[in-house]
């Protein structure tokens, strides 16, 4: 992405455009690290949560640091995500949609699976 000019409002706030947020996979509530060097201010997303994130139109796996995962771990992560997706699709086809149904899972089991795999890799 090219350098862009972003205005600051009277309260000292800046707004990151949708394109910037999507490119960096930044979501509401994410924490940004602020670094000041000379006259430059740098905002860096502090990604502590690992897992699959949308980056533009692609789904990528994000780690908390520069860790490299083995091919076996990547395959296990992908298989776990596929299984969870298939279970959700099968469940939604079998059950009528009800707003207050509760216990919809919300994807936590997949995230927990990802965290376990990543922890084993380290």
| Contact (Cβ atoms closer than 8 angstroms) between residue 20 and residue 27 | no
Look up residue 71 and give its two tokens: 């091919």
Task: List helix spans (H) across 1-122.
Answer: 18-24, 71-94, 108-121
Residue 11 pLDDT class (50, 70, 90 cuts): very high
Q: What angle do CA 105, 63, 15 make, to 5 degrees?
A: 85
Q: State pLDDT tens for residues 59-79.
A: 777 766 666 778 888 888 888
More confident site: 81 or 38: 38
Alpha-carbon Rg of the chain, whole angstroms?
A: 19
- What's this model's pTM, rounded to 2 decimal places? 0.38
């Amino acid at each position: 992405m090219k350098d862009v000019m972003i205005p600051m409002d009277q309260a000292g706030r800046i707004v990151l455009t949708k394109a910037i947020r999507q490119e960096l996979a930044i979501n509401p509530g994410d924490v940004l690290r602020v670094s000041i060097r000379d006259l430059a201010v740098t905002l860096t997303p502090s990604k502590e949560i690992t897992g699959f994130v949308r980056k533009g139109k692609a789904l990528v796996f994000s780690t908390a640091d520069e860790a490299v995962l083995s091919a076996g771990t990547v395959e296990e992560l992908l298989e776990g995500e596929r299984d969870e997706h298939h279970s959700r699709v099968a469940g939604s086809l079998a059950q009528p949609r009800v707003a207050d149904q509760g216990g919809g899972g919300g994807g936590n089991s997949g995230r927990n699976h990802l965290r376990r795999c990543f922890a084993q890799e380290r």
